[in-house]
Amino acid sequence: MNVKKNASLLVMLTTIASMVAACTPGGGGSAPVETKQPTAAGATPTPSSNKNVELRMMWWGSQARHDATLKVIDLFEKKNPNIKINGEYMGSDGYFDKLNTQVAGGNAPDLIQLGNNYPDYVSRSALLDINPYMGKEINVDNFDKGNIESGAMDGKQYGIILGSNAFGIAYNTELIKKAGLQPPTGKWTWEEFGKYAQDLTKALGKGYYGAVDESRFPLYLNYFARQTNKTLYKDGKAGLGKEEIANWFTLWDNYRKAGSTPPAEVTAAYTEAPENSSFVEGKTAMHLIWSNQITAYQKLMKDEINVVLPPTGGSAQGLWLQPSQFMTINAKSKNPKEAAMFISFMVNDPEATMILGSERGVPGSSKARDALKASATPVDKKVYDYIDIASKNSRVPDREIPNGKEFETTLINMSQKVGFAKETIANAAQEVFAAAEKAIGKK
């Protein structure tokens, strides 16, 4: 009788143990099994997650960026089979309009690519403080302190930098040769830049122009203003006045009239993003681009491009090294841990960083930078070489103007109206200045 009781007890205990194992992650049944992935020497393994998770990720960029990012997502999913990431991507036009609609509707993606405008989304309580994941799910051991702090505000961490950039003047080497001119060195004033562009237009003939009209871009206006120790935004108010804005419009109006840049109707036909660019089409010889865009532009062009410093003027240095983008997490994400895991994977995994290269800028991780330099293509080498030059000719960046989308729209509209002679420079400058004050005044 005692034997039977002991046997029954043993069966019962075995059954209970099996049930417990089936309910434990990695313990059998239908639950996902943790798979350990090999990591590079000295690298921190990605923390495991055992539940089935589906994330949404949103970013903007060129086709080259889309392709690379999708490959990294696929690689992450293979190494973390229980996590699925659905990509939502588009060009820069309309990106923030779509994102703002989603934020307002409470259905923004888990992972959101943002630029230096991320403080706008912090003010809307749209971003998660990721400090609890730093040093755990998110490894920043190989990041410079400044790179980490670029994604922080008021003691909270809201994003991880995806790269650093600097803008410069890209030029079409074949058009320069065709015009019979020496390539630019980047050591030029605004006047010299305009004269060089004018000479290109004359030498190249009908249908060709020396430079793209860049008067509508806030970053370039800010660069111009910084050379006289002004800036778009400083200490909670507009950092430049109507006079500086008027000087900017006058500069480009003079270029236009001299033939240094195309007429307004040609300029209005292009966004000058890689996929819709007079520069890519070989109609203009020079164009202001970010260093991380060199690869995308070059892939679309048969002619070789090089990059030099933009024009200088005034008593101060205008250029700065700018964090290209940040990867952030939606404050309402139901799976922040898994989102944090992907961010760390994106900026640290040796395979992932090699796939992404410098398309989003020079990586924040020193280990990733060293690996990329060692295997750099000729085009990638131009990115690193230009960053080296730009870093020696830069000073600390300014905070971007808050709620800057409306300000940017006004600058674009006024630039076009001045170009088409539908508005005076004085009135256009007043409109742009008013738009800056309005944007800054918004809560």
Lowest mean pLDDT segment, chosen from 136-140, 376-380, 416-420: 376-380
Query: What length is written for the chain?
Result: 443
Average pLDDT over residues 234-258: 95
Task: Sheet with 53-60: list strands edge to edge.
Answer: 83-90, 53-60, 111-114, 326-329, 159-161
Q: Region 260-282: what's the mean pLDDT?
A: 95
CA distance 21 to 15: 10
Containing 89, the helix (H) or strand (E) segment is: strand 83-90
Which run of H or of E encompasses 310?
A: none
What are the tokens at 254? 């003079």
b/e code 83-92 from CB counts within 10 Å (16+ = b)? bebebbbebe
pLDDT at 46: 47
* CB proximity list for 159: less than 8 A, separation 6 or greater: 114, 118, 127, 130, 151, 326, 327, 328
Residue 104, both tokens: 């307002």
**Angle at alpha carbon of residue 287, lines to 355 and 146, rounded to 5°:** 50
Taking a C-beta distance cutoff of 8 angstroms, is the pair 118, 328 a contact? Answer: yes
**What does the alpha-carbon distance between residue 111 and residue 84 come to, in Å, rounded to a whole number?**
12
What would you report as the CA-atom Rg of the chain, rounded to the nearest whole angstrom? 26
pLDDT at residue 2 in the model: 43
Going along the chain from its start, the domains and CATH numbers come out as 53-162+325-384 (3.40.190.10), 167-319+401-441 (3.40.190.10)
What's residue 76's pLDDT? Answer: 98
Interatomic CA distance for residues 318 and 315, integer angstroms: 9
Q: How far apart are CA 299 and CA 437, in angstroms?
A: 40
More confident residue, 15 or 309: 309
Residue 392: how many CB atoms within 10 A of its CB? 9
pLDDT in tens, 40-71: 333 344 455 578 999 999 999 999 999 999 99
pLDDT, tens only, 335-346: 999 999 999 999
Mean pLDDT to the nearest integer, 20-38: 31
Q: How far apart (Å, rounded) are the C-alpha atoms in residues 253 and 247?
A: 10
Q: Residue 45: what pLDDT?
A: 42
Q: Backbone dihedral region of 402: left (phi > 0), alpha (psi from -120 to 50 degrees) or beta?
A: beta
Mean pLDDT, to the nearest integer, of 16-45? 33
Helix axes 366-374, 336-348, angle to 10 degrees: 40
Listed residue (34, 36, 113) closest to 347, CA to CA? 113
CB contact set of 139 (below 8 Å; sequence gap of 6+): 43, 44, 344, 348
Helical (H) or strand (E) element with 169:
strand 167-172
**Chain centroid, CA 109 distance in Å:** 17
- Range with the lowest mean pLDDT among 11-20, 222-231, 346-355, 363-372? 11-20
What's residue 299's pLDDT?
Answer: 94
pTM equals 0.69
Q: Average pLDDT over the chain, rounded to whole?
A: 88
Report the pLDDT averaged over residues 175-200: 98
Phi, psi of 164 (to 5 degrees): -120, 145
pLDDT of residue 126: 97
In this prediction, residue 310 has a pLDDT band, given cuts at 50, 70 and 90, of: very high
pLDDT grade for 355, boundaries at 50, 70 and 90: very high
What is the reported pLDDT for 49? 55
Higher local confidence (pLDDT), 436 or 39: 436
List, as one string, the DSSP characters of 125-142. Answer: T-B---GGGBTTTB--TT
* CB-CB contact of 111 with 343 (8 Å): yes
Instruction: Check pLDDT > 80 for residue 305.
Output: yes
Contacts of 7 (CB under 8 A, 6+ apart): none
First to last CA, the chain: 81
| Average pLDDT of span 117-144 | 94
48 versus 323: the higher-pLDDT residue is: 323
